[in-house]
Amino acid sequence: VSTRLKKKEIKELNEISEKERIDRSALMRKFLLAQITEYKLKEAGGIYRKGVISLAEAATLAEVSIYVMMDFIERERIQVKALSDEEMEKELIKAKNLFKDMNK
């Protein structure tokens, strides 16, 4: 991967790489990977907001821990679509069955 940067951007990268004590290419890789993770969090958060997937499924989709996903949800103030009474009952039945299976 190659990219063109303005002199100012190169200068800023050099300054940051000195502070971080890593070379510029490692710094750019670090920034790129952080942005990829952020993109995945936004995508999974959007699906979670619609109520299509659970928090755990969103974390799996974003390839992060559930705790990182929870922090993202809180930071972005994402509120999941409220469940109807019928949906809530189905979720409770699923949870009950899951606990039964765990105790076998």
Query: 36-61: per-residue pLDDT in tens?
Result: 999 999 999 999 999 889 999 999 99
Integer Cα distance of 12 and 51 in angstroms: 41
Query: pTM surpassing 0.75?
Result: no
Average pLDDT of the residues of the chain: 92
* Tokens at 32, concatenated: 């790129």
The 10s digit of each residue's pLDDT in 13-27 is 999 999 999 999 999
Query: What was the pLDDT predicted at 55?
Result: 92
Query: What was the pLDDT predicted at 58?
Result: 95
* Tokens at 19, concatenated: 């502070």
Question: Which one, of 31, 39, 81, lies nearest residue 64 by Cα?
Answer: 39
Q: Is the pLDDT of residue 32 over 90?
A: yes
Integer Cα distance of 41 and 11 in angstroms: 30
**Residue pointed to by tokens 């920034």:** 31
**Residue pointed to by tokens 């510029």:** 24
Length of the chain: 104
Predicted confidence band of residue 81 (pLDDT cuts 50, 70, 90): confident
Integer Cα distance of 30 and 70 in angstroms: 22
* Tokens at 86, concatenated: 């019928």
Query: What was the pLDDT predicted at 13?
Result: 95
